[in-house]
Amino acid sequence: MIPLRDANPTRRTPVVTVLLIVACFGAFAYELGLQASGGDQALDAFIRRWGVTPAELTSAWSRCAWASRETATLVTHQFLHGGWLHLLGNLLYLWIFGNNIEDRLGRLRFLTFYLLGGLVAGLTQVAISPGSDIPTIGASGAIAATLGAYLVVFPRARITSLVFLGFFYQLINVPAVIVLAFWFVLQLIDGLASLGVTDVTGGVAFFAHIGGFIFGAGVALLLRRRRTAVG
């Protein structure tokens, strides 16, 4: 099930969502340029330097090096991607779901929420595999936080999704609660299946997705309760 759009109009232009998309495209263009000029070795070195590498982060924090490059990677990794499919898939989700959360939270609060969601997602992956020497990159953890918030705030919004049935496909309109719950369950299943599996070539950071999603849903629930109490 691949979401394509939602029937959930916004009241204002999603400036921050657009800027985040532009920033991710800009970072990816830099990666492509680096690879073209310096080869795969130069790109790998860049990814290793600015992606979240659990072993490096835990080592830095064990020395109380809080204000370090390793700490900064909890933010920088959110703008790096491993290929066109990785980039475009993430940004499709960001565009569909991010604009409404930005509309609800406001621009500055959404930017803060998004970056914190990515930070929590990165820390979740580090907590699961603290000794891993594989860098984690991608906006998916921050976007997962956005999905979690969307589930809480707009559970009944209709999502037009592409569903494959063997060699055939169909467009269906599904409530957001079904689309996002389905997505989260897949992350849980794949995440649990990945425990204990060593892959030196890297893979999907399922627990970053899980951590980001729970963070986003939790923040949205807290804000809703606060609004209800004030009201």
- Model pLDDT, residue 48: 96
| The pLDDT of residue 15 | 98
The CATH number fitting domain 2-230, selected from 3.40.50.10210, 3.40.50.12780, 1.20.1540.10, 1.10.3720.10 = 1.20.1540.10
Q: Where are the alpha helices (DSSP H) in 51-106?
A: 54-62, 69-76, 84-105
Looking at residue 221, its pLDDT comes to 96
DSSP per-residue codes, 110-160: HHHHHHHHHHHHHHHHHHH-TT--SPB--SHHHHHHHHHHHHHH-TT-EEE
Length of the chain: 231
Q: Provide the token pair at 116.
A: 């914190």
Q: How would you write the pLDDT of the chain (231 residues) with one tens digit per residue?
A: 899 999 999 999 999 999 999 999 999 999 999 999 999 999 999 999 999 999 999 999 999 999 999 999 999 999 999 999 999 999 999 999 999 999 999 999 999 999 999 999 999 999 999 999 999 999 999 999 999 999 999 999 999 999 988 888 899 999 999 999 999 999 999 999 888 665 544 568 899 999 999 999 999 999 988 877 655
How many Å apart are CA 135 and CA 186, to the nearest integer?
22
Which secondary-structure segment (H or E) carries 3? Answer: strand 2-6
Residue 202: predicted pLDDT: 58
Task: State the CB neighbour count (10 A cutoff) for residue 177.
Answer: 16
What is the pLDDT at residue 229?
A: 65
Residue 5 host element (H or E): strand 2-6
This prediction has a pTM of: 0.93
Distance CA 231, CA 229 (A): 5
Residue with tokens 């950071």: 205
Question: Where do the structural domains in the chain lie, given as residue ranges?
Answer: 2-230
